[in-house]
Amino acid sequence: MSPQPFEILGPSHLLTLLIIVSIAFLFPRFINSKTDSSKIILAKILGFSAITLELIKPFIWHYAMDFPWARLIPIHMCNLSTIFIGVFLLTDRRIFFEVSFFWGIGGGINALVTPDVPLTFPDPQYILFFVGHGLLIVCIAYACIVLKNRPTLDSVKNGIYFSLAILPIVYIVNLTIGPPANYWYLATKPVGESLLNYFPDPPLHIPLLIALGALVFYLIYSPYWIFDKIKQRDAE
């Protein structure tokens, strides 16, 4: 079966999303019945796997699919999210969970819904893209459901501050390397369909990206805020 041009929310895309969501939510619930030591061991395995995948992916992209090295530094938001959640699962350092949670949920879900891939399954680029982003969502779900982590209002602020600190560094990397480097899509818009198609041309889209990012962080946190308010009201 030869790969066909990618169709957003086409049959292959929808099936892939269903598989990722099912694993992300059913797997942690199954693990919840295991012992605490088993949960910790599996967290380490997931963390190590996430970091390892991000470190070896550039070599797969380059040698198997002939991608230029300039595009393969693992500093895209989803790359860093996967590395950070891996570090959290290995070390239990809270800041890595906070940043990865908002970057992974905000950026990762957007990437899964509007992937930057030209061909559908079984194209190797399609498979590697969804394996990487799927593992990110599974690791975040594991940290939340099994390890009982959740964001706070301070987590939102930490995520925004960290993003603002990293953004100029990523922008400078793009400028220094030049095309085809396009980390965080600060230099050019993605090839496929995405929300950025409705934004001004780079770099004028960056202020809107910052505002949208902050809004998305607060929207992601809003269910927790509502839950806390209801819990507080019931306790009074």
Answer whether 67's CB lies under 8 Å from 61's CB.
yes
Predicted pLDDT of residue 18: 96
**For 113-137, what is the mean pLDDT?**
91
pLDDT at 1: 60
**Is 5 strand, coil or helix?**
strand
Region class of 184: left (phi > 0), else alpha (psi between -120 and 50), else beta: left
- 75 pLDDT band, cuts 50/70/90, is very high
Residue 191 per-residue DSSP state: S
Question: Residues with Cβ < 8 Å from 161, sequence gap 6 or more?
Answer: none
At residue 192 the predicted structure's pLDDT band, cuts being 50, 70 and 90, is low
> Does pLDDT of 236 surpass 70?
no
Give me the pLDDT at residue 35, please: 87
What is the pTM for the complete model shown?
0.91
pLDDT at 194: 67
What integer best gives the mean pLDDT of the chain?
Answer: 90
Give the DSSP per-residue string, 106-162.
IIIHHHHHS---SB-TT-HHHHHHHHHHHHHHHHHHHHHHTS-----HHHHHHHHHH
Cβ atoms of 119 and 6 within 8 Å: the answer is yes
- Cα separation, 17 vs 51, in Å, equals 22
Confidence of residue 108 (pLDDT cuts 50, 70, 90): confident
pLDDT tens for 13-66 read: 999 999 999 999 999 888 988 888 999 999 999 999 999 999 999 999 998 888
- Helices 206-235 and 94-103: crossing angle in degrees, nearest 10, is 110
